[in-house]
Structure 1
Amino acid sequence: MFSLTEKEVQAQIEAFAQFGATPDGGITRLLYTEEWLAAQQFLQQRLASIGMSTRFDEVGNLFGRIEGTKYPAETILSGSHMDTVVNGGKLDGQFGIIAAYLAMEQLIKTYGPPLRSLEVISMAEEEGSRFPFNFFGSKNLFGAVKQQEIADLTDIQGVTFEEAMTTAGFQLKASAQPARSDIQAFLELHIEQGKILETEEKTIGIVTSIVGQKCYTIVLKGEANHAGTTPMSYRKDALVAFSTICVEATAKAKLLGDPLVLTFGQVIPKPNVTNVVAGEVHFTMDCRHTDEATLNRFTTEIEKDMKKTAQAMGLMIDIQLRTDEAPVQMDAACVALLQKSAEKLQLPSRLMHSGAGHDAEIIAKFVPTAMLFVPSIGGISHNPAEATALKDLMAGIETLATALYELAYIE
């Protein structure tokens, strides 16, 4: 369909991977860091070089735009997020951005300017890796972030969210920016981050829904004491309490079964030394399901169980819900368009839900939205080993371009 080559796609991926590159081939590019800002500025230059007008919004979302010739006020948007997890891979987030501008570049070369405006977006943040706040970039598109929500947030070094933002040259205003009303559709291309497509030998996954997600930060407080002189019956061991909570909650999750998933992630025992009973444990819990009622029932039950365990062991517990996103359905017309596009290219595809959170779930609450996946080798993601075959990356870009053509070039 287009002149784009696998070599060009690989070159673009490697060009962006230099920003925040880690020694083992991964990327650490956290919101508002020097690496993040350099990557956004590099992208801005790249977008300008293919004839796009560019701009940053107040929080650092970057846009590249080709104005429509007949319906300039109607915008077709595509892209993803520029930030990464700590030591993540080269595709999560940034491939969706690269794919969007490559697809649009090929469309413009082949068909000339579109009837409706085409716009690439590189969202400032999605992962929540530096500060405990997810989807900051996409939420700001629609004025869905209030200043007080980030006022007390700090990173692991004690830098406040607002200080980091200001240092990078951005600032969230006291009154939220007005929600955009010109976006007619949003399409996000992403690696699957799972093994379904690879296992079933499908090239394209078309997302029908994104799971709901509840993320907690939890602190257990017991009593630090000498490991040798404190009898077992006298202990208020926060680490043992955590272990009990982890085992019992995981067993309940397995009993309920798919598509529910439960993960205990970051675990920080204090004082975290060999000869002291752990007096405090900070940990996270992540729970996801495609049905909102089931997700709410299960997490409510687990919260009660954690409190009972803490009480029985003589500990205090503080449970903070930091992310509470309901399951989101993709737009039926956009889903059908992606199906049609894959069929036109004779690519094997399947409908599926996304078990990972994406910016699309925020945007879908405001405008017609859909996602497409390409396979992840071994299902590996958030890892330097993250990879997708170049032929599958190309297929994803071609499918995206085919759908964008229908949206932006057809009356």
Structure 2
Amino acid sequence: MTIAQLQSVHPEQSISDWIKWLASYGKTDNGGVTRLLYSESWLEAQLALQKQMIQRGFTVRFDEVGNLFGRYIGTDEPDSIILTGSHIDTVRDGGQFDGAYGVLASFLAASELYAEHGPPKRTIEVVSLAEEEGSRFPFTFWGSKWVTGQSDLETAHSFIDSEGVSLQQAMKDAGFGESVETQSTAETIQAFIELHIEQGILLEHKKKDVGVVSDIVGQRRYMIQFSGESNHAGTTPMTMRKDAMRLTAEFITYITNAAEQLDPTLVATVGRLVASPNVPNVIAGGVECSLDVRHAQTGILDQFETIIEQFEKVAKQNQMEMKRDCWLQIEPVHLSDLFVEQALSHADTLGFSSERMVSGAGHDAQVFGLTCPTLLLFVPSEKGISHSPLEWTDPEALEKGLKLLKAQLYSLAYE
């Protein structure tokens, strides 16, 4: 599909209309969206955004891995970049708002500021990041890690999708992977701002217009294995069993109670469980389960890991074995205190109710937060539903988030 064949949007349409427009790229039969990294629908969406940026007077470019940038060059400090945006990739059959809202709101906020006030003092750059979700390849934040120098092309060799295609090959097939002139680097980015739907229920529950994120939680994901002894379900007395399923059930109760007692903001989730031999009339000799733990403080995560380890004593007392493997460890990120206070002040000036909050989900902001002052803003998600065709945010809430983003960009780029 050529750029000339891509759909267009009337410039006066609302943010909701823009979201519906972008959702047409990768739309599924039940109203969801599937835009996997480097897929045809993903490429069409990036090219459509490129066209819209050009029409709004942005200087537009793609980088080596397919991140799309549109900039208004600053008059006083052109090398000081205020970067704003999010990602356009989705989970399979995801919603219309996740990532896309942040990209489109950044595009609209920057272009409206330019139309109203002319060129900024410091360069505003809108980014449509190539990938955040990790839905096609087992690797998250590819786009933001590339921009910040936390990943490189060597990484692309090692990740394979479900059809055996490497990240490098998929990138090449989409027309990327070749060296291009770099116009922004981690060193020139002075700030990053991301606007996103909450993907949770806090703002809706508290009836708040916007959320201002102070911290993004760290994550630790474990694979836990319990080994007992398979035996006959009818002939083995309860007192003589080495039942791995029973031990797992005790572990789940133990771990969830411990999380509640340690800290009210700590969350621990056992979401996947596989029993062996997984037969109705056989005592489970082995069980493997996942454990997802999240908190905004590394110290709490460390303390909870010690609590997990202590359950090994319970396994030994029951003549069974427990093994644990922490296969993912993402450190918490504290965002810019200055930007948080600015955003709360802007919300108050605009007449919006606000909530200072912690993000329990990962976002590109946590990658940028390691290299530059960063701000993450939320708008409510209806019933907290996300990664689903049922994902929804009220149009009025979307507009409020856009106005808050616009105010923050004005402070950073024009004042």
| Bucket of the pairwise TM-score, normalised by the shorter protein | 0.7 to 0.9
Is 2:304 the partner of 1:298?
yes
1:139-178 mapped onto 2 (5 Å cutoff) = 139-146=145-152, 151-171=157-177
CA contact (8 A) 1:245 1:309 kept: no
Deviating more after overlay: 158-167 vs 13-22: 158-167
1:7-406 mapped onto 2 (5 Å cutoff) = 7-146=13-152, 151-171=157-177, 179-216=185-222, 218=223, 220=225, 242-267=248-273, 283-303=289-309, 305=311, 309=315, 317=323, 319-322=325-328, 324-406=329-411
Distance 2:170 2:228 in 1: 35
Distance 1:47 1:312 in 2: 64
- Show CA shifts across 1:133-190 (max 9, x none): 22222121121125565644333444333333333333399xxx99521111111111
Give the residue type in structure 2 aligned to 1:380: I
Distance 2:372 2:142 in 1: 17
Distance 1:262 1:183 in 2: 35
CA contact (8 A) 1:143 1:178 kept: no
- Show CA shifts across 1:325-355 (max 9, x none): 2222211221122122212212122222212
CA contact (8 A) 1:224 1:276 kept: no
Distance 1:10 1:243 in 2: 45
Distance 1:280 1:149 in 2: 35
Query: Aligned pair in 2 of structure 1 residues 221, 287: CA closer, same or farther (>3 Å)?
Result: closer
CA contact (8 A) 1:220 1:310 kept: no
Query: Could you say what secondary structure the match of 1:265 adopts?
Result: coil
Distance 1:37 1:235 in 2: 56
Give the residue type in structure 1 aligned to 2:56: I
Give the residue type in structure 2 aligned to 1:159: V
Query: Aligned pair in 2 of structure 1 residues 225, 101: CA closer, same or farther (>3 Å)?
Result: same
- Show CA shifts across 1:197-249 (max 9, x none): 22222212111111122233x27486998988996889987666654543432
Give the residue type in structure 1 aligned to 2:70: G
Gaps of 5+ in 2: 1-9
Tell me the CA shift for residue 118 of structure 1: 1.0
Tell me the CA shift for residue 305 of structure 1: 3.2
CA contact (8 A) 2:80 2:122 kept: yes
CA contact (8 A) 2:226 2:248 kept: no
Distance 1:311 1:34 in 2: 55
Deviating more after overlay: 228-237 vs 105-114: 228-237
Give the residue type in structure 2 aligned to 1:367: C
Distance 1:246 1:172 in 2: 48
CA contact (8 A) 1:82 1:123 kept: yes
Q: TM-score, normalised by structure 1?
A: 0.85
CA contact (8 A) 1:141 1:179 kept: yes
CA contact (8 A) 1:131 1:154 kept: yes
Distance 2:382 2:280 in 1: 39
CA contact (8 A) 1:241 1:313 kept: no
Give the residue type in structure 2 aligned to 1:384: P
Query: Could you say what secondary structure the match of 1:360 adopts?
Result: helix
Query: Aligned pair in 2 of structure 1 residues 308, 27: CA closer, same or farther (>3 Å)?
Result: farther
- Show CA shifts across 1:304-329 (max 9, x none): 6369749967568462422x222222
CA contact (8 A) 2:147 2:185 kept: yes
Gaps of 5+ in 1: none
Distance 2:412 2:203 in 1: 26
Distance 1:297 1:284 in 2: 19
CA contact (8 A) 1:73 1:117 kept: yes
Q: How many residues align?
A: 403
CA contact (8 A) 1:341 1:402 kept: yes
CA contact (8 A) 1:78 1:100 kept: yes
Percent of pairs with identical residues:
42
Q: TM-score, normalised by structure 2?
A: 0.84
